[in-house]
Amino acid sequence: MQALLQLGLCLILLAAQYAPAGSAVPSSHCRRQCGNVEIPYPFGIDPGCSPGDGFHLDCKVHDGIERPFRSAFEVLDISLKQGTTRVLNFIVGYCYNTSTGSMEYFGRYGGLNEGVSSPYRLSDVQNRFMVIGCNALASISDRDGTGYEGYGAAACRNQSDLVDGSCSGIGCSQTTIPKRMYFYATTFFSTVNNSQIWKFNRCSYAVLMETASFRFSTKYITTNKFNGTNDGRVPVVLDWAVRDIKSCDVAKQNKTGTYACLSSNSKCVNSSNDQGYTCNCTNGYEGNPYLPGGCKDVNECDHNPCPSDGVCRNIAGEYRCSCRVGKKYAKESNTCNPNIGFIIGLTMGLFGLMIIIMISVFWGQMTIQKRKLNKVKQEYFREHGGLLLFDRMRSEKGLAFNVFSEAELRHATDNFDVSRILGKGGHGTVYKGIIKSSMLVAIKRCGIVDERQKKEFGKEMLILSQINHKNVVKLLGCCLEVEVPILVYEFVRNGTLFELIHGRNQALQISFSTLLRIAHEAAEGLSFLHSYASPPIIHGDVKTSNILLDDNYMAKVSDFGASILAPSDKEQFVTMVQGTCGYLDPEYMQTCQLTDKSDVYSFGVILLEILTGQLPLKLEGTEKPRSLSLIFLSAMKENNLEDVLVSQVKGQASMELLRGLADLAKKCLEMCGDNRPSMKDVADELNRLRKLSLHPWVQLEMEMDEENLVGGESTSGYEIELSGYPMGQSENHPINPGSSYYAR
Ligand SMILES: *[C@@H]1O[C@H](CO)[C@@H](O)[C@H](O)[C@H]1NC(C)=O
Ligand SMILES: *[C@@H]1O[C@H](CO)[C@@H](O)[C@H](O)[C@H]1NC(C)=O
Ligand SMILES: *[C@@H]1O[C@H](CO)[C@@H](O)[C@H](O)[C@H]1NC(C)=O
Ligand SMILES: *[C@@H]1O[C@H](CO)[C@@H](O)[C@H](O)[C@H]1NC(C)=O
Ligand SMILES: *[C@@H]1O[C@H](CO)[C@@H](O)[C@H](O)[C@H]1NC(C)=O
Ligand SMILES: *[C@@H]1O[C@H](CO)[C@@H](O)[C@H](O)[C@H]1NC(C)=O
Ligand SMILES: *[C@@H]1O[C@H](CO)[C@@H](O)[C@H](O)[C@H]1NC(C)=O
């Protein structure tokens, strides 16, 4: 026994094709509202306001209110985003008539049938086929369309079996449907004639409806009434789409005229239910993708998607979140997290800053220390007359003069090693040094200095640094930044004239012409000093031990070590009177006025030493020391010159030459300085005498002798002694520190 009732709604829509009128955007006269329901394009209620009849709706007054209808189905709302429309569907009831004992159908139709070309499909996702009752069996079928036929069965023994909200077979069942359905029919099947059940549940119900809108209630059973929300109607969801184009791919290929997604920032979406497509605004845009310019940028910041402690910034199609300083936006968790990088960076930055500060402080300390050291060095420098020198160096450009550092000189002398000592004198110690890796120099380092001596170094340097003559020892540089001033001299290696004349090896046959040449060269050197500057540079301590000899036995005047500038105040003037006994200008002894003629006098004594081979002061036994000059002068007076001449000399030179030399010496030894020749005259006269001596036979002899000397290993066993170099002070030679006066 089965009662079959098939109910279907056949709305045959002939012009369902989606056909927007080219670029013709729906007129602004089209109503977009029907009652409370918004009607967005492509839907329309006025003629020509929708692309094809499929999207046409009727706006009818129902119960006094305007409502849109799609045929018999009232439209609740339209979603462009989801491509769905909710309409009210009709519930079908099936009841037992106790008076007649038969079953009867109630309610309206059970489906929607608009054909395959209709935009609408029954949503398989959002709808269920609901069957309510304690003795109910109903089917949903689409035999002509998809061929689907489903069943819903609901049963219960008595009311106590029923549970509110539970729709899983007891008093209520729900059944899913397949896709692509646009129509269905509902049929109830007759069940067992159960009088027990009819007592409390006579009616069964069946409807395809929106799952979300349904909640089972036991009352539906006990009161025999399930009439939905709107007089036997419940919402059902329809998926709509542009169906005449199969998919987005096809639609995009053939955009001419019929492509529905007219808005920029819109995209085509394949329909999820049957063929066709819908349009959607791309992410970050919302609006109507079916209208040109319909998709509008969403101001996401309106509903602040960012963390509460963040800041939102809207940009086209999207938005940006940022967090305050020190925090970093984490997109995954949408939170403002402590910015490790920033913190690390900040920490590193602070750390770096700290290091910089520490380095600065360290540098500061270093600089202060350095300054202190420099101050000490500058103090020494000043004490040692360095400022004077530098003033001079500044005013006289191109001075070939070096200022050495202490370290350089320590290195040059092997840290002032004893083995490097060339000689020791009253003023200090002279070391052999090597600078610039190969250059030999003599480095004079003062021992103990008193205030006066300290000044003398600066002065000596000042004088020497200016002088460049082959017969004057060259000062290469100095170092004033130490307590003890250090001077760097040209290295002159062959001892002094003193050693040559009075040297240990008296047997040495030193050629007279060599001595004459040395005397001439020394005279040239002194002459140069006198003429070099105005006022003249006065040596002040001319003596044989201050005439050094280089490799070729060329004379080099040395020892400006005790030189000072002529003092301006008289008191100092007097105390400064010093020289070497035996060489001292007698006029100077009386006047305390050192002149260039004082040097000439001293040079005269040198000539005497050459002629006589005697020391300037003869110390014979207990006798009073006798001055060589006095002996000589008295001999000259008595015409006894030959008696005083040294024997070797007599053999080597003509008497004429010797007499000339003796005359020159005599002139030099004049008591009155004004009567003495100038140093230039002396040099010229010596030059003349040398030429006189250069007769062929004399020259030959001389050259032979010189060869012996130059050869170094002389057959005569000449010994080179470098004591006192370049101070020129031999232990066996009593001398006072001399003084040069830079006369004004
Ligand atoms: C359209 O896009 C929105 C988000 O912008 C999304 O929620 C919705 O599901 C999309 N619709 C379809 C049919 O894909
Ligand atoms: C039962 O059927 C009778 C006769 O057709 C009818 O008059 C009556 O109204 C029905 N009862 C119900 C509850 O429908
Ligand atoms: C159901 O049973 C009752 C009696 O129990 C009877 O009167 C009635 O006709 C039956 N109805 C049907 C449809 O068989
Ligand atoms: C629901 O109620 C309406 C009137 O209130 C009625 O016309 C309709 O038949 C009822 N439907 C069902 C299934 O009971
Ligand atoms: C419901 O049926 C069960 C089992 O037949 C029974 O035990 C129970 O008492 C019944 N409840 C009511 C209210 O009839
Ligand atoms: C493109 O659309 C036109 C008109 O709608 C149609 O005639 C044509 O067949 C379509 N072409 C393709 C490739 O779908
Ligand atoms: C849309 O559907 C067509 C055909 O069904 C398919 O080839 C295409 O990949 C789909 N496109 C998207 C974006 O899913």
Q: Is residue 308 part of a domain?
A: no
Annotated binding site: which residue ranges? Answer: 444
Task: State the closest ligand 4 atom to the C-alpha of 107, by its place in the atom list counted from 1.
Answer: 9
Q: Is residue 742 part of a domain?
A: no
Centre of ligand 7 to C-alpha 276, Å, is: 10
199 lines ligand 5 (CB under 6 A): no
Ligand 5 neighbourhood includes 160 CB (under 6 angstroms): yes
Handedness of CA 459, 462, 468, 474 (dihedral sign): positive
Q: In this structure, which ligand is nearest to the CA of 253? A: 6
The percent of residues above 70 in pLDDT, for the chain, comes to 78
Residue 305 belongs to some domain of the structure: no
Please indicate, yes or no, if residue 354 is contained in any of the structural domains.
Answer: no
The number of the ligand 5 atom at minimal distance from the alpha carbon of 161 is 1
pLDDT at position 697:
52
Q: How many whole angstroms separate alpha carbon 94 and alpha carbon 368?
A: 110
Query: In terms of domains, do 442 and 503 share one?
Result: no
Q: What is the pLDDT of residues 471-504, one digit of tens each?
A: 888 878 877 777 777 878 888 878 888 888 887 6
Using the 3D structure, point to which of 459, 490, 521 is the last residue of a domain. Answer: 490
- Pocket around ligand 2: residues whose beta carbon is below 6 Å from it? 97, 99-100
CA distance 187 to 708: 151
User: What residue ranges in 282-385 does DSSP mark as E strands?
Assistant: 285-287, 295-297, 310-315, 318-323, 327-330, 335-338
Between CA 283 and CA 277 the distance in angstroms is 18
184 and 81 in one domain? Answer: yes
Verify that 445 and 524 share a domain, yes or no. no
Whether residue 615 is contained in a domain is answered as yes
Q: Are residues 545 and 468 in the same domain?
A: no
What atom in ligand 7 is closest to the CA of residue 275?
5
Looking at the fold, whether 52 and 150 belong to one and the same domain comes out as: yes
Last residue of a domain, one of 258, 278, 297: 297
473: domain CATH number? 3.30.200.20
Query: 341 in a domain, yes or no?
Result: no
CA atoms lying within 13 Å on the CB side of residue 50: 23
What is the 258 CA–ligand 6 centroid distance (Å)?
Answer: 9
Residues 475 and 515 placed together within one structural domain of the fold = no
610 and 595 share one domain:
yes
217-239 mean pLDDT: 88
Active site (catalytic) residues: 541
The range of the structural domain enclosing residue 265 comes to 248-297
- By CB atoms closer than 10 A (0-12, 13-18, 19+), residue 348 is exposed
State pTM to two decimals: 0.52
Range of weakest confidence among 98-107, 365-374, 392-401, 434-443: 392-401
CB 544 within 8 A of CB 606: yes
Out of 79, 81, 126, 285, give the residue to mutate to test ligand 1, the one with the largest number of ligand atoms within 8 Å of its CB: 81
Long-range contacts of residues 396-402, Cβ cutoff 8 Å, at least 24 apart: 396/466, 399/465, 399/466, 400/468, 400/476, 401/465, 401/475, 401/476, 401/477, 401/478, 402/476, 402/477, 402/478, 402/488
Give the position, in ligand 4's atom list, of the atom nearest the Cα of 93.
13
Which of 369, 356, 660 is CA-nearest to residue 520?
A: 660
Return the best residue to mutate from 238, 269, 296, 297 for the ligand 1 pocket (most ligand atoms within 8 A of CB): 269
Annotated binding site for ATP: 444
- pLDDT tens sequence across 437-478: 788 888 887 665 566 666 666 666 666 677 788 888 887 887
Q: What is the arithmetic mean of pLDDT over 649-671?
A: 85
Q: Which residues have CB under 8 Å from 563's CB, separation 6+?
A: 456, 459, 460, 463, 539, 540, 739, 740, 741, 742
Mark whether 235 and 275 lie in a shared domain: no
Q: How are the residues of the chain apportioned to helix, strand and coil, as percentages rounded to the nearest 5?
A: 30, 25, 45
Assess if residue 207 is contained within a domain: yes
The rounded Å distance from CA 156 to ligand 2 centre is 25
- Per-residue pLDDT tens for 539-586? 777 888 888 888 888 898 887 544 444 443 444 444 444 567 778 888
* pLDDT value for 450: 62
For ligand 6, atom 7, which residue shows the shortest CA distance?
A: 254
Q: Are residues 547 and 627 in the same domain?
A: yes
3-state secondary structure of 327: strand
Q: Is the pLDDT of residue 43 over 80?
A: yes
**619 CB-near residues (< 8 Å, 6+ apart):** 625
Q: Which atom of ligand 1 is nearest to the CA of 272?
A: 13
The ligand placed nearest to the CA atom of residue 276 is 7
Domain-located, residue 415 = yes
CA 125–ligand 2 middle distance (angstroms): 39
Quote the number of domains for the chain.
Answer: 4
CATH number of the domain bearing residue 689: 1.10.510.10
Same-domain check for residues 52 and 171: yes
The ligand that comes nearest to the alpha carbon of residue 265 is 1
Compute, in angstroms, the gap from residue 316 CA to the centroid of ligand 1.
18
- Look-up of token digits 């002149």: 595
247 lines ligand 7 (CB under 6 A): yes
Residue 735 has pLDDT above 60, yes or no: no
The rounded Å distance from CA 573 to ligand 2 centre is: 161
In 3D space, the residue among 177, 168, 176 whose CA is nearest the CA of residue 216 turns out to be 168
Shared-domain flag, residues 44 and 85: yes
pLDDT single digits (tens) 86-130: 999 999 999 999 899 899 888 765 566 677 888 999 999 999 999
> Nearest residue CA, atom 1 of ligand 4?
232
The answer to whether the beta carbons of residues 725 and 731 sit under 8 Å apart is no
For 421-442, letters b (16+ CB in 10 Å) and e give ebbbbebbbbbbbbbeeeeebb
For ligand 7, whether the C-beta of 472 sits within 6 Å is no
Alpha-carbon span 643 to 7, nearest angstrom? 174
Q: Same domain, yes or no, for 143 and 224?
A: yes
What are residue 68's phi and psi, to 5 degrees? -80, 140
CA dihedral 253→259→260→262, nearest 10 degrees, is 90
d(C-alpha 666, C-alpha 636), whole Å: 8
Residue listed under structure tokens 């170099």: 725
What's residue 391's pLDDT? 67
Instruction: Among 242, 244, 254, say which to mutate for ligand 6: greatest number of ligand atoms within 8 Å of CB.
Output: 254
CA-CA distance, 305 to 449, in Å (whole number)? 88
Contacts of 636 (CB under 8 A, 6+ apart): 662, 666
The residue among 424, 458, 490 that closes a domain is: 490
Q: Give me 5's structure tokens.
A: 């009732």
